[in-house]
A = this chain, B = another copy of it.
Amino acid sequence: MSLTPTIDATIDDQAARAAWLYYVGGLTQDQIASEMGLSRQRAQRLVSRAAAAGLIHVRLNHHLARCIGLEAALRERFGLVRCRVMPGLGPSRDPVRSIAPAAAEEMERVLAESGSRVIALGTGRALRGMVDALSPVEAPQHRLVSLLGNIALDGSASYFEVIMRLAEKVRAPHYPMPVPVLVDTVEENRTLQALGAVRKVRGLAQKADVTFVGVGQMSEDAPLMTDGFLTPDELHEIQRAGAAGEVAGWIYDGQGRYLDLSLNARLTGVRVEIATPERPVIGIAAGAAKIVALRAALTSGIINGLVTDEPTAAGILAG
C-alpha cells in the first residue's frame, strides 16, 4: 500500500480532502496547497467546490434564547408535537438556507429510529433544501412515499425532486407518485387513480407514520402558479374563494379548512388529513409570504410540527 497520502482518484475526493484540511484541520489554503502538492488557486477551487457541492455541513450547536422562546410559544398556542425556529438571515436572503439544516435534523431524528417507518413527503424548495442538507445515513428499514407527483401539466418535471434524492442518500425503498400532479379532466384522473401503481402509493401514503410537507402561499407569488400548475386566472378565482394556503397541492382557507374547489377533482395527490401526535405532519416553510398560510395550517391542525425561521415565527404569533 502506498504511503503517499495525498493522491486520490476523483476530483471529489480531492475536494473533500481539501475541505477537510480547511474546515476541520484549520489549515490555510496555502498550507493545503503544499500539503497536497497543488497550486494555491487549485486548493481554493477545491475548497469552494466542496462547499458548493454540499460536501461540508455546518451546524450551529446552540439554541438562541429568542428562538427557544418562539418555539415554546408556537408549541403552546398550536399544540405542536415538534417545533424548531432558526435564526433569520435578513430579508434579502433565502430563508430556506436557514431552515434546511434544522429540517434535516428533524428528518435524521426520524431516520435514526430502528423500527420501520413509512415517511411521506411533499415537494417544493424547502423540502429539497432539507434533503440537500441531510447527511447520508443508511436507513433501509424505512419506506419513503410521495404525496404527489413531480410533473407539471405540460409534462415538465419540477426542479425540486425530493423523494429520489432522499432515497439515494438513505438507501431506502421509495415509492414516487408516478403521475402528473394535476390532470386535464376528471375522467383522466379517475383512470389514473385506478392504476395499481397509483393505488399502492396512495395506500402507503395514507398510512404514513410521519409526513414532511412544504406549505405554499396563495398570494400572487403562489408556488402552484409559478411552478405552472395554475394559470393566473385560476389563481385569482381561487383567491376569491378564500384560499389562504396549500399543502401538497390541496388548498385551504384562512382557518385551515380545505376548500371544495372544482380543481380538487383533477388533483392526483394524496390530501394530508388532520395530523395526530402519533402520526405527525411536519411543515417546513419560512418567509413573510407564507405567514398566513402557515397560521391557517397550524390552526386547523393540517400540520402539527413546524420548522421555520425567526421572523416567520414572530409573524405567525403576531396574528
Contact = CB atoms under 8 A, between A and B. Distances in A.
Interface of A: 1, 3, 5, 8-10, 12-13, 15-17, 19-21, 23-27, 31, 35, 50, 54-62, 64-66, 86-90, 93, 97-98, 101, 109, 112-115, 135-136, 310-311, 314, 317-318
B61 A13 contact: no
A97 B59 contact: no
Nearest to A63: B16
A24 B101 contact: yes
A56 B59 contact: yes
A114 B26 CA distance: 36
A10 to B, nearest CB: 7
Nearest to A7: B66
Given A8-B65, A27-B90, A66-B8, A60 B20 contact: yes
A114 B109 CA distance: 10
A100 B55 CA distance: 18
Given A9-B65, A114-B115, A24 B60 contact: yes
A247 to B, nearest CB: 26
Given A20-B60, A23-B58, A89-B21, A10 B314 contact: no
Given A26-B93, A35-B90, 6 more contacts: A9-B65, A13-B65, A13-B66, A24-B58, A56-B58, A56-B60
A93 B22 CA distance: 12
B55 A25 contact: no
Contacts of A12: 62
Contact of A61 (B21, B86, B115, B135): B135
Contacts of A16: 60, 62, 64, 87
A180 to B, nearest CB: 33
A23 B114 CA distance: 32
